[in-house]
């Protein structure tokens, strides 16, 4: 068996001496099994932060929708009260009520579609988040529709 030694490269800490390769391992084989705990913790924290932010944004969007809907209905109801009397006013109120009902049904259908799509992904946390947000938005839309109908009465 022959052994060949190489000369050290400039700037290298390797002096060309024979060795068993242990100098190159540098802690790679500590005897302990590698763990994914730090990575799992980072992933979990990132997902929790993203879900929290998504829920916050969804709540803010739903609140804005309700606020704008209430303003529009109050404005329409006020204008109808001021300008219309008798039978024409009743027709305008009925049309406004039907518009609110259509808005509520369309929103409900959109939320149902979002839940269906989230379930199709087969990722548990996505489904749970989508369902929670859909429930919150549906509740806000129901309350705003009820308030709109009360204003129209």
Give 89-137 pLDDT, tens digit per residue.
Answer: 777 788 888 888 998 899 889 889 888 988 888 888 888 988 999 999 9
Within 10 angstroms of residue 111's Cβ, the number of other Cβ atoms is: 19
Residues 6+ apart with CB under 8 A from 137: 58, 61, 62, 65, 107, 111
Residue 19 pLDDT: 47
| CA-wise closest residue to 130 among 53, 41, 55, 50 | 55
| CA-wise closest residue to 69 among 151, 149, 144, 150 | 144
Confidence of residue 54 (pLDDT cuts 50, 70, 90): confident
What's the predicted TM-score (pTM) here?
Answer: 0.46
**What are the structure tokens assigned to 27, written together?**
């802690």
């Amino acid at each position: 068996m022959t052994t060949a030694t190489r000369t050290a490269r400039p700037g290298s800490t390797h002096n060309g001496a024979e060795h068993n390769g242990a100098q190159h391992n540098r802690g790679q084989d500590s005897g302990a099994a590698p763990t994914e705990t730090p990575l799992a913790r980072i992933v979990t924290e990132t997902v929790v932060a993203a879900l929290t932010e998504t829920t916050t944004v969804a709540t803010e969007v739903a609140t804005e929708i309700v606020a704008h809907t209430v303003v529009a209905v109050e404005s329409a109801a006020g204008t109808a009260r001021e300008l219309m009397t008798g039978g024409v006013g009743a027709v305008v109120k009925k049309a406004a009520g039907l518009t609110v009902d259509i808005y509520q049904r369309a929103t409900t259908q959109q939320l149902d579609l979002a839940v269906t799509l989230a379930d199709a992904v087969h990722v548990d946390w996505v489904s749970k988040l989508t369902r929670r947000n859909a429930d919150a938005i549906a509740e806000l839309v129901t309350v705003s529709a009820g308030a709109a109908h009360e204003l129209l009465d």
